[in-house]
Amino acid sequence: MDSLLQRRIAAVLLFIAAAIAIFLPFVSATLLTIALGGAACAAGIGQLLRLGGEAGLQGKVFRSLTGLLYIAAALWILIDPIDSEISLTLFAGVLLLVEGLMELAGGATSPGPLSGLVIFDGVITAIFGLLLVIEWPSDSIWALGTLFGAALFLSAINLLRAPKSAETT
């Protein structure tokens, strides 16, 4: 199968996933939250499995604490994913706000042909973050799923717009 056809199939699948996430934002946000809990649990187990590689007692103590912290966070997320989703929405809002401000600073301090685009990206990202923070916690039911769907949609568009040189690699 040639790479152009593979990219088109992947883009169609991304568009379908984006539509599902956007039209069922609560479901997609809850599934994302549960997946994050699973990843945190795996990370905690991984930290505990690395204990044997630590030479000193101090390293083992810190590695154990890190592993147990990951597992405790995973359990908190998995036991009550809805409350976790609410917390993650606030975290995402703060993260987007800070990222937007950093993009603005980067675009303002680096002259170049793309600085206007970087500043525009910073403004939009900061506005999204600010809206999430201002509307929190009432936006927690739909925001993460909708943002995830929008990100999937943009990924599909970028995949279709990839340069032709990407096809030969």
Q: Which of 91, 73, 70, 100 is nearest to 144 (CA)?
A: 91
Whether residue 75 has pLDDT greater than 90: yes
**Other beta carbons less than 10 A from residue 143's beta carbon:** 25
Contacts (Cβ under 8 Å, ≥6 apart) of 85: 29, 30, 33, 140, 141, 144
**Other beta carbons less than 10 A from residue 89's beta carbon:** 25
| CB contact at 8 A, 143 and 132 | yes
Q: Which pLDDT score is estimated for 44?
A: 93
Q: Which pLDDT score is estimated for 120?
A: 83
Mean pLDDT of the chain: 85
- Residue matched to tokens 């923070």: 133
Quickly state the pLDDT bin for 42 (edges 50, 70, 90). very high
Q: Which pLDDT score is estimated for 121?
A: 80
| CB contact at 8 A, 98 and 132 | no
Mean pLDDT (whole number) for 94-106:
88
pTM listed for this prediction: 0.67
